Structure 1
Amino acid sequence: MNPPATTLARARRFSVAPMMDWTDRHCRFLHRLLTRESLLFTEMVTSAAIVHGDAERHLRFDSVEQPVALQLGGSDPTELAAATRLAHAAGYAEINLNVGCPSDRVQSGRFGACLMAEPDLVADCVRAMRDATDRPVTVKCRIGIDDQDTEESLDRFADTMVAAGVDALYVHARKAWLKGLSPKENRTIPPLDYDRVHRLRARLAPLQVMINGGIETLDAAEAELAHTDGVMLGRAAYHNPMLLADVDRRIFGATTEPVSLAQVMTAMAAYADREAAAGTRINNIARHMLGLANGLPGARQFRQILSVEACRPGADSRVMQQALDAVSRPRLAAAG
């Protein structure tokens, strides 16, 4: 069942960013155990891969992941519309267009951040996607690219998206330099400009504008919610996933107790058993769990078990109990 619009608008207060090779369906299942309220994103999938490739594999997700948004990459309005229709049928709560990725491979395919130089084309894509679904169509972008004036160019881009009927914007508060910086450098070297996103949000209200980039703690996330409609965390949430366990209480006002590491490991073991029966290798699940014990005595052994033992032939969900034991024993010894 697709979440109602009001639920989705609320979920955007905190989202986990789309990250290539990381936010696959196993990662999202883990993150959903930790936070029931947040909006989760797929990794970016090109419209061509969905329309001309194995759509079922690319679009598969577990209903417990909801609300979950699909992020598409592409610049062909017709192809994006076709991919959006398939995403609609698959049940995604939101379809997001990537206009922020700076990689060479993405640029060569004429999508990602380079599209910020072509707002009219992006608008055509948004209109085509909106015509293909009644689900929200959103855009994730940067504050600008290369030598663009981030005041004038970002306003022009955003106004063009609004005119096209975009439902919300997610803005990475850095420029993308398409020449001279690698994708990794583009995540850290261009200076953050949160104030620019704040001004954009004030100007576009009531359209929802979410902020992304360099936010690493829930304290920082709460501070940004005073100026934006939502925050998006990426690598900080991935590398320290237990951070997400406190999101529902601190960001959404939940009164239930945060899930414990033991509860997460038990649930992931059960999930791994189900997935293994369908042919999934345990290490494809365990690789997303390495940061769960960060800061705890035994965390190094915890990571080693999940990264090494889970790759051995015949490995099964018991490695998750072994990893949990590695951090439980020091705590029990200290208590005794």
Structure 2
Amino acid sequence: MKQAKIELSSAARLSVAPMMDWTDRHCRAFHRVMSRQTLLYTEMVTSAALVRGGAAHLLDYDVSEHPLALQLGGSDPEELARATEMAVDRGYAEVNLNVGCPSDRVQSGSFGAVLMENPALVADCVAAMMRAAGSVPVTVKCRIGVDDQDPQTALPALLQHLSDVGIRRVTVHARKAWLKGLSPKENREVPPLDYGLVHAMKQRFPHMHVSLNGGIDSLDLAEAQLAHVDGVMIGRAAYHDPGAILMHADSRIHGKTDPCGDRASAALAMVPHIEAHLADGGKLGQVTRHMLGLFAGQPGARGWRRTLSEGAAKPGAGVDVLHAALDHVATLAA
């Protein structure tokens, strides 16, 4: 636990966003072979599922994934506190509250982005989580506002409430969320980005570690934003083109040595994880679906995706499929 917290202090300069159906333990294992330093997040887990639903298995992870944060969804302070206790007992390095997801399912549970409309409740939630967390950091991921809110008013109001109860690290998705009229996908793309507002929040709350999320699709852009904020969170780009984002993150963002020299090495580094998963009765595709973007933009990328996806769908598929896909890439790249 101590080691994870030491790493966390610098890891937050770059993080991979929590993404539903994507950042599961297999995805995180894959991302970790390419970057030892970057902060990784789980998919959002609801406090209700943990506390009332008996879904403690959703907290499962491997210690090699550290530094690792759990993102919780919920709006009941007591329930969030109990879920936080469970996370701390499992050894998570951070517990994060989702105040940014605009999906209908999340809205129906009165949490996620809808909480932007009630900063006092958010403060109550995180205060309860902090009491339960002890020395483990509690953080918040939010939007700049929702619906007809004025972000120039809504965002600083939320951050002030968070600051008042002792929150010292936030991640801001620099877009509004429209709770009615836009789908979750559209909410990631349609509302305009306002990086300037997030920069201003760092100036207004200098004691807080402010990370910026939204629209960052390269390390060049991440480095540019680090001149204005403390950290950058990258989502879909890190998933769809992990080689471009993560393979050189440790050297460029963290000043450390990159663990993988090339994409093929990253693929081969996953063999032990795949073999262990298969030995436990898992299926190859549960792991390799997260690896399809490894060679994005490289010679042979299409063949890599086709060989891997088609081969993983066959009964009894094993690591030979991965080797075949790599052979295909190597042949076309030669």
Aligned residue for 1:308?
Answer: 310
Cα 1:4/1:63, change in 2 over 3 Å = closer
* Contact kept? 1:2, 1:91, Cα under 8 Å: no
User: Secondary structure of the residue that 1:42 maps to in structure 2?
Assistant: strand
> CA–CA distance in 1 between the matches of 2:257 and 2:100?
36
* Contact kept? 2:35, 2:258, Cα under 8 Å: no
Q: Shift of residue 40 of structure 1? A: 0.2
Q: Shift of residue 81 of structure 1? A: 0.5
> CA–CA distance in 2 between the matches of 1:295 and 1:148?
40
**Does residue 183 of structure 2 align to residue 182 of structure 1?**
yes
Higher alpha-carbon deviation: 240-249 or 323-332: 323-332
User: Secondary structure of the residue that 2:247 maps to in structure 1?
Assistant: helix
* Runs of 4+ in structure 1 over 6 Å off: none
Q: Shift of residue 152 of structure 1? A: 1.4
Q: Shift of residue 256 of structure 1? A: 4.7
Aligned residue for 1:32?
Answer: 32
Map 1:178-327; keep pairs closer than 5 Å.
Answer: 178-243=179-244, 244-256=246-258, 258-327=260-329
* Contact kept? 1:269, 1:318, Cα under 8 Å: no
> CA–CA distance in 2 between the matches of 1:46 and 1:175?
22
Q: Shift of residue 114 of structure 1? A: 0.3
Q: Shift of residue 61 of structure 1? A: 0.5
> CA–CA distance in 2 between the matches of 1:161 and 1:149?
18
**Does residue 41 of structure 2 align to residue 41 of structure 1?**
yes
Q: Shift of residue 54 of structure 1? A: 4.0
> CA–CA distance in 2 between the matches of 1:138 and 1:125?
11
The alignment's TM-score, normalised by the length of structure 2, stands at 0.97
Q: Shift of residue 55 of structure 1? A: 3.6
- Percent identity over paired residues: 55
**Does residue 13 of structure 2 align to residue 7 of structure 1?**
no
> CA–CA distance in 1 between the matches of 2:137 and 2:259?
31
Aligned residue for 2:77?
Answer: 77
* Contact kept? 1:211, 1:230, Cα under 8 Å: yes
The alignment's TM-score, normalised by the length of structure 1, stands at 0.96
Paired AA for residue 279 in structure 1? G
**Does residue 132 of structure 2 align to residue 125 of structure 1?**
no
The total of aligned residue pairs comes to 332
Q: Shift of residue 50 of structure 1? A: 1.1
Paired AA for residue 187 in structure 1? R
Q: Which segments of 5 or more consecutive residues in structure 2 lack a partner in the other structure?
A: none
Aligned residue for 1:101?
Answer: 101
Q: Shift of residue 258 of structure 1? A: 4.0
* Contact kept? 2:168, 2:207, Cα under 8 Å: no
Deviations along 1:8-36, one digit per CA (max 9) or x if unpaired, are 12110000000000000000000000001
Q: Shift of residue 5 of structure 1? A: 4.0
Q: Shift of residue 255 of structure 1? A: 4.0
